[in-house]
Amino acid sequence: MELEVSSNTIVIKGNIKSINDFQNIKQRVDAMTVENKLININILDSLSITSSVIGYFNKLVLKDNIDIYMNVKNEQLLNLLEDLNLISTFKVKRS
């Protein structure tokens, strides 16, 4: 997995599958939330997302009052987020 970061946008390339991926995402997003209350997350390739990443994003939205706008390219991941009722929580759109 690769991450590209600019001010309040993170682009995730490759599959999100390991605890190391979660730690990298968390570290980068934590740094962003110091100055931004709105985070754009673009997931280009991943077919799925780990429960730790979902839990972390959920905490950001529900506890820390961070707005997440997620753009998902893969239909399978979009369906997963829909099955988990996270479309509105993460403001998911298909890119």
Which residue in this structure is represented by tokens 């673009």? 42
87 pLDDT tier (thresholds 50, 70, 90)? very high
1 pLDDT tier (thresholds 50, 70, 90)? very high
Q: What is the CATH number of the domain that holds 43?
A: 3.30.750.24
Which amino acid is present at 18? S
Q: What is the pLDDT of residue 60?
A: 98
Q: What is the pLDDT of residue 82?
A: 97
| CB-neighbour burial class of residue 57 (10 A; exposed 0-12, middle 13-18, buried 19+) | buried
| Number of domains, the chain | 1
Rounded to whole angstroms, how far apart are CA atoms 32 and 27? Answer: 9
49 is in which domain, residue-wise?
Answer: 2-94
Q: What is the pLDDT of residue 51?
A: 96
**Model confidence over 26-85: pLDDT tens digits?**
999 999 999 999 999 999 999 999 999 999 999 999 999 999 999 999 999 999 999 999
- What SS3 string covers 68-94? EEEEECCHHHHHHHHHCCCCCCCCEEE
